[in-house]
Structure 1
Amino acid sequence: MDKVLRLASEQGVVIFIKSTCCLCYAVKILFQEIGVDPLVHEIDQDPEGREMEKALTRMGCSAPVPAVFVGGKLLGSTNEVMSLHLSGSLNQMLKPYQSQT
């Protein structure tokens, strides 16, 4: 769990994904369309990936991936992210992390 928390704090927006997960891809693209360039960790490419997946589940992720962290705090998985996006709250939450282009 320490590794997950350390990685989750490396940047403002961090997403843990699996390279073969279509929901992970959709969440990553959503953030990019909002103007946020998240730091992405592919846990299936990490030797400690299984332990990281278990840690994400213990932290409260309904599904272990995608797991989205904003400001070092767990935002959630696909359901939480999409609910926030549909309500308009996600854009507000991500304003500090949007690129100024």
Structure 2
Amino acid sequence: MIESAQVAIYRYPVVLFTRTDYPECMSANELLKKTFGFDPYVLFLDQIPEGPEIEDFLAQYDHQRSVTNVFIAGKYVGNFEAIVQLDQSGELEEKLE
């Protein structure tokens, strides 16, 4: 159910939607942990029954059915490349403020 994804987006300060078979997952997790000082809430979509449905739901944000997707403070921030760019520009940490 996409409700679990929607609840997570607003319940946790940093949410990472990904898959266990995506190598960038660990990199995204480490970057977010380094930036904010705590582990993001991670949903591995290939490990839960509603994963495909959540991937469809997430497609509305980036117009493609792909993960890794990051939400900070209830707002869609982007994929792994987007958070790397935000980190390099110094804007990533500001997203939680």
TM-score, length-normalised on structure 2? 0.84
TM superposition shift of 1:63: 6.1
Q: Aligned pairs, how many? A: 95
TM superposition shift of 1:32: 1.4
Q: In percent, how many aligned pairs have the same letter?
A: 29
Q: 1:61 to 1:77 in 2, by over 3 A?
A: farther
Quick one: distance in 2 between partners of 1:69 and 1:43?
A: 15
Three-state SS of the structure 2 residue aligned to 1:69 is: strand
Aligned residues: CA RMSD: 1.8
Contact 1:81–1:90 (CA under 8 A) maintained in structure 2: yes
TM superposition shift of 1:62: 5.4
Quick one: distance in 2 between partners of 1:43 and 1:27?
A: 15
Contact 1:62–1:77 (CA under 8 A) maintained in structure 2: no
Three-state SS of the structure 1 residue aligned to 2:92 is: helix
Aligned equivalent of 1:12: 13
Structure 1 unaligned regions, length at least 5? 97-101
Aligned equivalent of 2:27: 26
TM-score, length-normalised on structure 1? 0.81
Three-state SS of the structure 2 residue aligned to 1:86 is: helix
Runs of 4+ in 1 over 4 A off after TM superposition: none
Aligned equivalent of 1:79: 81
Contact 2:55–2:65 (CA under 8 A) maintained in structure 1: no
After superposition, where does 1:35-54 map in structure 2 within 5 Å?
A: 35-54=37-56
Quick one: distance in 1 between partners of 2:65 and 2:38?
A: 22
